[in-house]
Amino acid sequence: MFPKYLFTDLGFWFFTLLYTMGVGITVFLLLWPTQRGATRPPVQAARPKGLAIAFGLLLIYQFFHQAEHVTQMYQFEFLGLPSQEAHGIVWFLDEEWNHFIFNLGYTIGIGTVFGFLLRALARTQTPRTAANVGYMLVFLALEGWHLVEHTYRIIHHMQGLCSSCPGILDSWTSIDRLVLHFWFNYVALVLPAAVFVWYRFPVPVLQRFTSAVKSAVLRARRGGASELGRATG
């Protein structure tokens, strides 16, 4: 059932705040070494039209997916629930299918974004330095293995061998699957976020958002003026 008790648990909100701050600090630390010696790729060349919005939406998608892992981690580590009972927020969904579909969609989405970026770098003959492509390649390797883990689990789940199934690494290392996949998803968020900031994607996202807000305000004012004109006419 829905974990309503979490809404009144100050420890849970504190843990969530620490996690959010940790994401921001990690992205800063990832980018800090590159700020000093690397040259950012040309802004227009490395940002194909519309890519910024898609990239931003994918990061939001992953952030909310990670909220599920944050909840499960808190239930397991701090509330002492067994991993089989730490169902997180979307308790009503099948856990294996929920995480498999989320990760499959995210991997395909970010992989597509990175493909466009790599093509843009090749088209403009921009050097593929560690700063320009390093985080992309590390992400693709780690997230590729993450997807292998979920594929392994979903196959066993479909065979009826388990409900919340163990994966490969947790079987080898004895690390609980909730802990392991919390960190898998943490890395899957911070590495693309570092790429997002490195390529200055926040600039067009903010520009589009500001433009949309201004257009909405302008339409509202015009609508109000029209209503006033009809009323006084």
Contacts 24+ apart (CB under 8 A), 223-230: none
Query: Does position 232 have pLDDT exceeding 80, yes or no?
Result: no
Rounded to an integer, the average pLDDT of 143-170 is: 90
Position 48 scores a pLDDT of 66
Q: What is the pLDDT of residue 95?
A: 80
pLDDT on residue 4 = 79
Q: Residue type at 105?
A: G
Is the pLDDT at 233 greater than 60, yes or no?
no
Report how far residue 149's alpha carbon sits from residue 166's, in angstroms, rounded to the nearest whole number: 9
The answer to whether 147 and 73 are in contact (CB under 8 A) is no
d(CA 123, CA 131): 18
For the stretch 28-37, what's the b/e string if a residue is b when 16 or more beta carbons lie within 10 angstroms of its beta carbon?
eebbeebeee
Nearest alpha carbon to residue 126 among 18, 220, 46: 46
pLDDT score of 46: 60
User: Where residue 113 falls among pLDDT bands split at 50, 70, 90?
Assistant: very high
List CB contacts of 26: < 8 A, sequence separation 6 or more: 186, 190
Instruction: Give the mean pLDDT of 83-104.
Output: 81
Cβ atoms of 51 and 116 closer than 8 Å: yes
Residues making up the chain, counted from first to last: 233
Band of residue 35 on the pLDDT scale cut at 50, 70, 90: low
Structure letter (DSSP) for residue 159: T
Q: How far apart are CA 165 and CA 98, in angstroms?
A: 13
State the pLDDT confidence band at 105, using cuts at 50, 70 and 90.
very high
pLDDT of 176-208, one tens digit each?
Answer: 999 999 999 999 999 999 999 888 787 655 666
pLDDT band at 153 (very low <50, low <70, confident <90, very high): very high
Q: Tell me the pLDDT of the chain averaged across its residues.
A: 83
- Reported as a pLDDT band with limits 50, 70 and 90, residue 92 is low
Residue 47 has pLDDT above 70, yes or no: no
H or E element at residue 41: none
pTM of the model: 0.81
Phi, psi (degrees; rounded to nearest 5) at 28: -60, -45
